[in-house]
Amino acid sequence: MKYGVLKGIKFFIFDCDGVLFDSKRANLEYYNRICTAAGRPPISQNEFFYVHMHTAEESLRYLFRDYPELLPYAFDITKHISYGQFMRYMKFDPVLPMVLGELKRIGIRMAISTNRSNTMPLIMKIFRLDKWFDYTCSALDVENPKPHPEGVRKILRYFGAHPRECIYIGDSLIDQRVAERTFIPFVAYRNKALHAMFHVKHFLELLRLARSIA
């Protein structure tokens, strides 16, 4: 990897689902619970691909696009289902706390940009993410969720940072588009299909990158 192009980087912006967490099963269980309770079949593979990257509201509207009469009921169900009961399905890479701690030690400031909404405060609390992250921007904090650049621009303002002082770490086309629209160098995590400045398969690779530019 040619790390020299990243000299001057001071800030890392992370996507949440698919990067900080393997949350696929948690999200699958959560949305299937809503679908079953509302009276529609379990979600398909293509539907899951969509909901894993979009906001809760966007996901429900998509899942019930063929069942419009059930949509109000589905929204009501979410008020009575705590995402906390699905946290046991979320996987946090065992090496990640060490990597985040080392990034902080060498002076990298970090933020999270996510399309999660009301589930994010619970995740922050349970996994104590505020130990490492200076700022979190969820779908509740913006009018336009990713891939709109509003959230990442809000993070830039918070840090007082220029886009070229940051890198964005994501795993989806939505993340790639956000990085492109904000002119931030993009690091693709475990997704070779994305167009990125760097591709990493493990957090230790990300740490090596950070040490090379610190």
Same domain, 163 and 72: no
Same domain, 98 and 191: yes
Tell me what percent of the residues of the chain surpass a pLDDT of 90: 85
CATH classification of the domain holding 177: 3.40.50.1000
Same domain, 104 and 198: yes
167-207 per-position pLDDT tens digit: 999 999 999 999 999 999 999 999 999 999 999 999 999 99
Distance (Å, whole) CA 130 – CA 139? 18
Q: Could you say which of 56, 88, 120 is where a domain stops?
A: 88
Q: Could you say which of 69, 88, 107 is where a domain stops?
A: 88
Same domain, 56 and 142: no
Same domain, 46 and 100: no
Q: What pLDDT was estimated at residue 4?
A: 60
- What lies within 8 Å, CB to CB, of 132 at 6+ separation is 97, 100, 101, 103, 104, 110
121-159 per-position pLDDT tens digit: 999 999 999 999 999 999 999 999 999 999 999 999 999
pLDDT (average), residues 40-61: 93
What is this structure's pTM? Answer: 0.89
In the predicted structure, residue 3 carries a pLDDT above the cut 60: no
Distance (Å, whole) CA 138 – CA 84? 17
Residue 118 pLDDT class (50, 70, 90 cuts): confident
Beta carbons of 14 and 20 less than 8 angstroms apart: yes
Same domain, 144 and 127: yes
Q: What pLDDT was estimated at residue 156?
A: 98
Same domain, 7 and 69: no
Domains contained in the chain, number = 2
The per-residue pLDDT of the chain, averaged, comes to: 93
Same domain, 102 and 202: yes
Same domain, 131 and 80: no
Residue 172 belongs to domain spanning: 3-22+91-213
Same domain, 129 and 84: no
Distance (Å, whole) CA 150 – CA 156? 10
Q: What pLDDT was estimated at residue 213?
A: 77
